[in-house]
């Protein structure tokens, strides 16, 4: 990803919100409102450099607009910033949990979700399967962009629970999962150890589509056991790093 200087980033943010070109003077005033006291000549030099990098497009005396490339660079930078912020917050949350607590939760999930997956392969409607496919596609898109997909993970598993048509098991799963925070912790761990939720979800969904309850159960068990393995691997890496 292309590196952005602070002034370039702020200019791209300003231009991304405009539907018309802005000149150096206008940009200088807007930057001043953000706490950047730059001369108009300095802003002009920054813009010339941004033109060279194809981050902006010059429209003669009317000024500059953000280019397609500039918009993509800005989106990448903001995506990385969100990821880093989320990661820092998750590290703090994660440090308050014990490895044994996470594994106990996953063992309980394995017992419940294997049955839910098996039932879903028999009882899921075409409409419910369609929703699962839609959620999985969105999760795969986010994974390809290195974005967090916690909401999609939660929804995928809840759709399976709903499709199983067993309210007691579904309610038990909601209690065991402990809400969104636990899913965020597990996704953070998977990122750290290079796991892939979307690939494992695809195998579960394929078994449900094929109406194969035995394979759906196996795929779900393998998925949860993979999570357990990643939790153990993460803590092993943490101990190793701390001992250096």
Residue pLDDT tens, the chain, 244 long: 345 688 998 999 999 998 899 999 999 999 999 888 999 999 999 999 999 999 999 999 899 999 999 998 888 787 666 655 555 554 554 554 677 888 888 999 999 999 999 999 999 999 999 999 999 999 998 888 877 788 899 899 999 999 999 999 999 998 887 667 777 888 888 888 877 778 899 999 999 999 999 999 999 999 999 999 999 998 888 777 665 4
Q: State the fold for domain 6-78.
A: Arc Repressor Mutant, subunit A (1.10.10)
* pLDDT reported for residue 142: 87
Residue 11: name the closest of 37, 30, 38 by CA.
30
In sequence order, what DSSP letters do the residues of 146-157 get, joined into one string? T---HHHHHHHH
Q: What does the alpha-carbon distance between residue 111 and residue 221 come to, in Å, rounded to a whole number?
A: 8
What residues pair up with 58 in beta bridges, in sequence order?
64
pLDDT of 93 reads 47
Residues 195, 236 contacting (CB under 8 angstroms) = no
DSSP class per residue in 41-54:
HHHHHHHHHHHHTT
State both tokens at 201: 């979800």
How far is residue 188's CA from residue 84's CA, in Å, rounded to a whole number? 11
Work out the number of other CB atoms within 10 angstroms of the CB of residue 4: 19
Total residues found in the chain within this entry: 244
Please enumerate in sequence order all residues whose Cβ is within 8 A of that of 23, keeping only pairs 6 or more positions apart, or say none. 61, 62, 63, 64
Spatial distance between the Cα atoms of 28 and 93, rounded to a whole number of angstroms: 41
DSSP 128-173: HHHHHHHHHHHHHHHHHTT---HHHHHHHHHHHHHHTT-HHHHHHH
Token readout for 4 is 């952005």
Classify domain 97-243 by CATH architecture.
Answer: Up-down Bundle (1.20)
Domain boundaries defined on the chain: 6-78, 97-243
> What local confidence, expressed as pLDDT, does residue 212 receive?
98
Alpha-carbon separation of residue 45 from 15, 24, 27, 61 (angstroms): 16, 9, 12, 15
Q: What does pTM read for this prediction? A: 0.60
Quote the CA–CA distance of 69 and 112 in Å, as a whole number.
47
| 37 CB-near residues (< 8 Å, 6+ apart) | none
Q: What is the pLDDT of residue 54?
A: 93
Query: Three-class SS of residue 124?
Result: coil
């Amino acid at each position: 990803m292309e590196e952005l200087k602070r002034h370039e980033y702020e200019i791209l943010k300003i231009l991304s919100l405009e539907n018309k070109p802005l000149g150096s003077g206008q940009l200088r005033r807007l930057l001043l409102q953000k706490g950047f006291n730059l001369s108009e000549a300095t802003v002009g030099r920054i813009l010339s450099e941004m033109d060279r990098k194809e981050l902006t497009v010059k429209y003669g005396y009317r000024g500059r607009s953000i280019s397609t490339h500039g918009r993509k660079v800005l989106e990448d930078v903001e995506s990385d910033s969100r990821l880093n912020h989320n990661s820092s917050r998750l590290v703090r949350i994660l440090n308050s949990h014990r490895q044994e607590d996470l594994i106990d939760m996953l063992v309980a999930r394995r017992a419940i979700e294997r049955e839910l997956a098996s039932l879903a392969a028999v009882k899921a409607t075409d409409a419910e399967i369609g929703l699962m496919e839609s959620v999985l596609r969105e999760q795969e898109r986010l994974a390809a962009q290195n974005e967090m997909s916690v909401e999609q993970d939660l929804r995928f598993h809840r759709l399976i629970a709903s499709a199983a048509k067993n309210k007691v098991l579904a309610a038990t799963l909601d209690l065991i999962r402990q809400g969104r925070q636990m899913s965020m912790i597990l996704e953070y761990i998977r990122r750290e150890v290079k796991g892939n939720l979307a690939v494992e979800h695809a195998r579960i969904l394929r078994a449900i589509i094929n109406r194969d309850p035995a394979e759906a159960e196996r795929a779900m068990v393998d998925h949860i056991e993979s999570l357990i393995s990643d939790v153990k691997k993460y803590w092993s890496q943490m101990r190793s790093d701390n001992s250096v």
